[in-house]
Structure 1
Amino acid sequence: MPSSIVLGATGITGREIVKALAADQEKWGKVYALSRSQKDSYPSHVVHRPIDLLTSAEEMAKSLEGVEGEYVFFAAYMEQAEEEKACEVNGKMLSNFLKALDLTNASSKVRRIVLVTGAKQYGVHLGQPKNPMLETDPWLTDSSVWPPNFYYVQQDILKSFCAEPKHNHISWTVTYPNDVIGFAKGNFMNLATSIGIFAAIHRELASSQNEKGFLPFPGSESFYTRFDSFTSAPLHAQFCLWAASSPRAANEAFNVVNGDVQSWQDLWPRVARRFGLQIRPNQFLHAERDEYSGLQKTTTLKTKPPLSILADEIGLRGRVGESKLEQRINLEAWSKLDSVRAAWDRIVQREGIERDGLQKATWAFCDFILGRNYDLVISMSKAREMGWTGYQDTWRSLADVFDELEAEKVLPKTRA
Structure 2
Amino acid sequence: MSSENTAIVVGATGILGREIVKELAKDFKKVHALSRSKKDDCPSNVEHNFIDLTSSAEEMANTLKGVEAEYIFFAAYLQKDSEQENWDVNGDMLLNYLKSLELTGAVKHVKRIILVTGCKQYGVHLGQVKNPMLESDPWLRDTSLYPPNFYYRQQDILREFCEKSHPEISWVVTYPNDVIGFANGNFMNLASGLALYVAVSKELDSDSKGIVWPGGEAFYTKFDTFTSSKLHAAFCKWAALTPGTANQAFNVVNDDVASWQDLWPRVAKRFGTKVREDQFSDSVGVGVKWKSETELPNPPPIALLAGEIGLRSGGGDDKKVNVPGSKLEQRVNLTKWSQEKEVKEAWDRLAEREGLQKDAFEKATWGFLDFILGRNFDVVASMSKAKRFGWVSPPSIDTWQALDEVFGELEEAKVLPARK
TM-score by length of 2: 0.95
Residue 258 of structure 1 is matched in structure 2 by 254
Structure 2 CA distance for aligned equivalents of residues 78 and 162 of structure 1: 23
Structure 2 CA distance for aligned equivalents of residues 86 and 321 of structure 1: 29
**Structure 2 unmatched ranges of 5 or more:** 314-321
Residue 317 of structure 1 is matched in structure 2 by 312
Residue 244 of structure 2 is matched in structure 1 by 248
Q: Is the 8 A contact 1:202 1:213 kept in 2?
A: no
Of 200, 222, 227, which residue of structure 1 is paired with 2:223?
227
Q: Is the 8 A contact 1:213 1:276 kept in 2?
A: no
Which structure 2 residues correspond to residues 14-413 of structure 1 after superposition, within 5 A?
14-24=17-27, 28-165=28-165, 167-206=166-205, 209=206, 211-285=207-281, 287-289=283-285, 293-318=288-313, 319-391=322-394, 392-413=397-418
Structure 2 CA distance for aligned equivalents of residues 288 and 74 of structure 1: 46
Shift of residue 98, structure 1, vs aligned partner = 0.1
Shift of residue 412, structure 1, vs aligned partner = 1.0
Q: Is the 8 A contact 2:69 2:106 kept in 1?
A: yes
Shift of residue 156, structure 1, vs aligned partner = 0.1
User: Hey, which bits of structure 1, 4+ residues long, moved more than 4 A?
Assistant: none
Q: Is the 8 A contact 1:308 1:320 kept in 2?
A: no
Structure 2 CA distance for aligned equivalents of residues 360 and 293 of structure 1: 25
Q: Which deviates more, 15-24 or 279-288? A: 279-288
Q: How many residues align?
A: 407
Structure 2 CA distance for aligned equivalents of residues 270 and 293 of structure 1: 24
Shift of residue 293, structure 1, vs aligned partner = 3.7
Q: Is the 8 A contact 1:311 1:320 kept in 2?
A: no
Structure 2 CA distance for aligned equivalents of residues 32 and 213 of structure 1: 50
Structure 2 CA distance for aligned equivalents of residues 59 and 161 of structure 1: 20
Shift of residue 286, structure 1, vs aligned partner = 5.1
Which letter does structure 1 place at the counterpart of 2:289? G
Taking only aligned residues, the RMSD between alpha carbons, in angstroms, comes to 1.1
**Structure 1 unmatched ranges of 5 or more:** none
SS of match in other structure, 1:312: helix
Structure 2 CA distance for aligned equivalents of residues 358 and 280 of structure 1: 23
Structure 2 CA distance for aligned equivalents of residues 4 and 252 of structure 1: 19
SS of match in other structure, 1:164: helix
Q: Is the 8 A contact 2:211 2:279 kept in 1?
A: no
Which letter does structure 2 place at the counterpart of 1:124? V
Shift of residue 137, structure 1, vs aligned partner = 0.2
Which letter does structure 2 place at the counterpart of 1:289? G
Structure 2 CA distance for aligned equivalents of residues 410 and 259 of structure 1: 29
Which letter does structure 1 place at the counterpart of 2:387? R
Shift of residue 255, structure 1, vs aligned partner = 0.1
Q: Is the 8 A contact 1:223 1:374 kept in 2?
A: yes
Structure 1 CA distance for aligned equivalents of residues 124 and 393 of structure 2: 24
Once the two structures are superposed, residues 93-112 of structure 1 have per-residue CA deviations (whole angstroms, 9 ceiling, x without a partner) of: 00000000000010000000
Shift of residue 288, structure 1, vs aligned partner = 2.7
Structure 1 CA distance for aligned equivalents of residues 288 and 54 of structure 2: 43
Which letter does structure 2 place at the counterpart of 1:347? L
Structure 2 CA distance for aligned equivalents of residues 354 and 372 of structure 1: 30
Q: Which deviates more, 292-301 or 365-374? A: 292-301
Once the two structures are superposed, residues 1-53 of structure 1 have per-residue CA deviations (whole angstroms, 9 ceiling, x without a partner) of: 121000000000000000001122xxx21000000000001111100011100
Once the two structures are superposed, residues 71-90 of structure 1 have per-residue CA deviations (whole angstroms, 9 ceiling, x without a partner) of: 00000000011111100000
Q: Is the 8 A contact 1:323 1:374 kept in 2?
A: yes
Structure 2 CA distance for aligned equivalents of residues 294 and 217 of structure 1: 14
Q: Is the 8 A contact 2:9 2:21 kept in 1?
A: yes
Shift of residue 357, structure 1, vs aligned partner = 1.1
Q: Is the 8 A contact 2:288 2:331 kept in 1?
A: no
Which letter does structure 1 place at the counterpart of 2:243? P
SS of match in other structure, 1:202: helix
Shift of residue 287, structure 1, vs aligned partner = 2.7
Which letter does structure 1 place at the counterpart of 2:258? Q
Structure 1 CA distance for aligned equivalents of residues 172 and 218 of structure 2: 35
Which letter does structure 2 place at the counterpart of 1:393? D
Shift of residue 213, structure 1, vs aligned partner = 4.8
Q: Is the 8 A contact 2:250 2:386 kept in 1?
A: yes
Structure 2 CA distance for aligned equivalents of residues 172 and 61 of structure 1: 21
